[in-house]
Amino acid sequence: MAPLATLYGRDVTFAAPYRPSPPAPSQALISWQERVEAPAASHFFAGLQQSTRLSARFAASDRRIPRERDVTPRVAEIDRVLEVNGAFLGASAKPAAAELIEPDGGTLVDLLVPDSKAAEKESEARGLVQVKIGQIDLEWIHVVSEGWASPLKGFMRQAEYLQALHFNSLRMPNGLLANMSIPIVLAIDDEQKESIGNASSVTLVGPQGDMVAILSNIEIYKHNKEERIARTWGTTAPGLPYVDESITNAGNWLIGGDLEVLKRVKYNDGLDHYRLSPMELRAEFARRKADAVFAFQLRNPVHNGHALLMTDTRRRLLEMGYKNPILLLHPLGGFTKADDVPLEWRMRQHDEVLKAGVLDPETTVVAIFPSPMHYAGPTEVQWHAKARINAGANFYIVGRDPAGMGHPIEKRDLYDADHGKLVLSMAPGLERLNILPFRVAAYDKTKSKMAFFDPSRPQDFVFISGTKMRNFAKSGESPPDGFMCPGGWKVLVEYYQSKAKEATATSP
């Protein structure tokens, strides 16, 4: 980063938070240097016009000097502030112009066949070899067709797959990188491969037998499951939910190509009105005149600690000078593991939170993110963040152990709890996204409400784990006042008690 900045006439600031001296850069590469002996979060490098602001993590980089053809597109990317260790931007940071962040590649991908060509494409689809797909495959078609994975335009061919698997990114035609940490692929078996033969296009048929999409200019290549699992999850231990559901019994081949989706993917579960596409979300943010969008991904019920975090984030953005920051409350709606609260119940609970005014409906957009869940920790959280860029979010809230889970066979977490937010601050292709780390919230016994944890009086705080919350709900016991709005808690109790009744009814 340092050679890149200075070679193109940019001044460079090096910051070493909590250290008496910054790293010593090569004097041949530095035009000048300012020493900052203060925590990074408290010092915004103000007044340095036309200078590049770099965090200590990237200071005095030893990376090779890029070739000239690699450099030009990167200059614009450097002119941003990288907060050290995910620290929140200070209140002196200036908000950008009131425009939504551009999607990766500059234009949202939209793979839905227009009405004017629908009959023609359906006729074409009927004449092609048919490939049956599963529910998770359908969810990925939904994701890709609406542009969540822009600039990706279909299931990955081998070159795209290898880039995602080994580099967590895709190289775009303009030379820039788009983050892509999760392979989006379609597996086929030997019989399907043989039936396809030399065809260049196939029709994808959904779980209900309906024609979903045409996959054209196809490429078939080997599905090395062990490599895919090891590089995505960092382990091949048995018991990984997505692996068990979608990979273990999948075919030994992958088929990639360009998608043309015949009709919008719908689930007819009473929740389709929540499934707003990136284009629809951008239109809604524009309608509300948002000048900042901060996204909160979740697959759990919202308690008042979550709400405190979200409302405090909005307060901080207002202090920074934004006029109307809008919250995207964005629960994951694809495949989840068996012990997660089902989407239908989560959405009912979220509705109650808004009805109670815990979150302001005027400044909150609730929508469903259609992606399946991998539980792949720091690798997957990059995908979650990247997809929200395409929906128009320029701030992303990240917490402890995002997208993580317990180790499937050992009594420990599979991933380091802090690595998710650290990886997001360094991930290729996410440089435009501002990462907002959780502040730890717990139940404050002295105030009878959720509050930010104060380490000077730890005896006053109670941490209510997900396990403890589930046990309360299963037994019908109420949590401490102020932990969750009563209407939202009632939904959870109803869910867990209905689940207990089902278990009793099916037991021998």
pLDDT of residue 38: 36
Per-residue model confidence as pLDDT tens digits over 340-391? 999 999 999 999 999 999 999 999 999 999 999 999 999 999 999 999 999 9
Reported as type and span, the H/E element at residue 314 is: helix 304-319
pLDDT of residue 68: 32
pLDDT of residue 204: 99
Per-residue model confidence as pLDDT tens digits over 231-284? 999 999 999 999 999 999 999 999 999 999 999 999 999 999 999 999 999 999
For residue 4, is pLDDT > 70? no
CATH 3.90.1170.50 matches 272-506: no
CATH code for the structural domain at 115-261 = 3.10.400.10
pLDDT of residue 75: 29
- pLDDT (average), residues 14-33: 35
Per-residue model confidence as pLDDT tens digits over 214-226? 999 999 999 999 9
Would you tell me the crossing angle of helices 377-390 and 225-233 to the nearest 10 degrees? Answer: 80
- pLDDT (average), residues 442-451: 95
Mean pLDDT of the chain: 85
Q: Please enumerate in sequence order all residues whose Cβ is within 8 A of that of 165, keeping only pairs 6 or more positions apart, or say none.
A: 183, 227, 228, 231, 232
Distance CA 233, CA 252 (A): 19
- pLDDT (average), residues 34-57: 33
For residue 44, is pLDDT > 60? no
Give the pLDDT band of residue 15 (cuts 50, 70, 90).
very low
- pLDDT (average), residues 171-180: 95
pLDDT of residue 447: 95
Better-scored residue on pLDDT, 12 or 294: 294
Per-residue model confidence as pLDDT tens digits over 89-148? 433 345 655 689 999 999 999 999 999 999 999 999 999 999 999 999 999 999 999 999
The domain locations on the chain are 2-86, 115-261, 272-506
Q: Following DSSP, what letter does each residue of 60-117 receive, concatenated?
A: T--SPPPPHHHHHHHHHHHSS---GGGPPPPTTPPPPPS-PPPPTTSS----BPPGGG
Whole-model pTM?
0.82
For residue 501, is pLDDT > 70? yes
Per-residue model confidence as pLDDT tens digits over 297-317? 999 999 999 999 999 999 999
Residue from 463, 426, 423 nearest 415 by CA: 423
Sheet with 364-366, strands from edge to edge, namely 364-366, 325-331, 292-298, 395-398, 434-437
